[in-house]
Amino acid sequence: MKHILTISSPDAQGIIAKVATILSAHHLNIEKNDEHVDLQKHHFFMRTEFSGECQIQDLLREIKDSLSPQSQVHIKKEEKKSIIILCTKENHCLGDLLLRYESGELNAHIQAIISNHTILQSLSEKFEIPFFHVDSQHLSREEHEAEILKITQNFSPDLLVLAKYMRILTPNFVSHFPNQIINIHHSFLPAFIGANPYKQAYERGVKIIGATAHFVNDHLDEGPIIVQDIIHIDHSYSWQDMQRAGRDVEKVVLARGLNLVLQDRVFVFENKTIIF
């Protein structure tokens, strides 16, 4: 049985040695270890893959007792996480995730797809994924989100994935999923925040366009960034050309960011991420 240990802690001498000693005493084998120290914040991060049989709660308590009380320590079995995908009308990100899921490339179980339109229902049904339509036109924002919460509570997903879900979530909704909502933004944040980023980029005369996968927080498009990538363009691109080209990078960045989170490789610290 393989497990993943993650530690976020005020930096101190000997943390790696302490943890390695405890794991060895429990006859566990370290297969991979990554660590990083934020020298400005004096903060330590570690991700360890280990194998062997253990009592997780006993091991967790022993490691916590050896570290600072401010430390955050988690031990998880290496297993597939469950996700729910939210979408609106655009199919490129959803379709890409579904193809990766069918081929086994996406290390997750897609429990359901929720949308405020029915346009993507037929696509979802092709992959035999439950589809829920929550109409946003005849409900208030609060009522709409309450309906979505009812659905998610029936599944208890590990993550929500916004695959071009074109609605702003309220702080109340986000509070139910701290650092558990992943969004793809069709821009190289922090530039061109909000709607119509390709028009903004075209008017600015940019020479690169990109996409950003990030966690969702209470501030629009300002959550901790997970992955970013770009493609090069030139003066001959209209904003519609830029939009078409941007869709390719959007779906790749979303899939890459999601897989990093699914593998417990992403640490959120303040408003940024450390990724192993």
How far from the centroid of its chain's Cα atoms is residue 4's Cα?
17
Spatial distance between the Cα atoms of 202 and 103, rounded to a whole number of angstroms: 36
Q: With the CA atoms of 192, 186, 270 and 274 taken in that order, what torsion angle do they form, in degrees rounded to the nearest 10?
A: -130
Give the contacts of 189 (CB within 8 A, at least 6 positions apart).
212, 214, 221, 222, 225, 228
Q: Per the residue annotation, which of 221, 229, 234, 264 is the catalytic one?
A: 221
Q: Give the bridge partners for 274, in sequence order.
A: 267
The b/e string for 72-93 (b: 16+ C-beta within 10 A; e otherwise) is ebebeeeeebebbbbbbebbbb
Hey, what are 172's tokens? 């109340």
Q: Is there a catalytic annotation at residue 221?
A: yes
Spatial distance between the Cα atoms of 161 and 181, rounded to a whole number of angstroms: 6
Cα–Cα distance list, 156 to 84, 150, 203, 262 (Å): 9, 10, 43, 15
Q: Which residues are catalytic?
A: 221
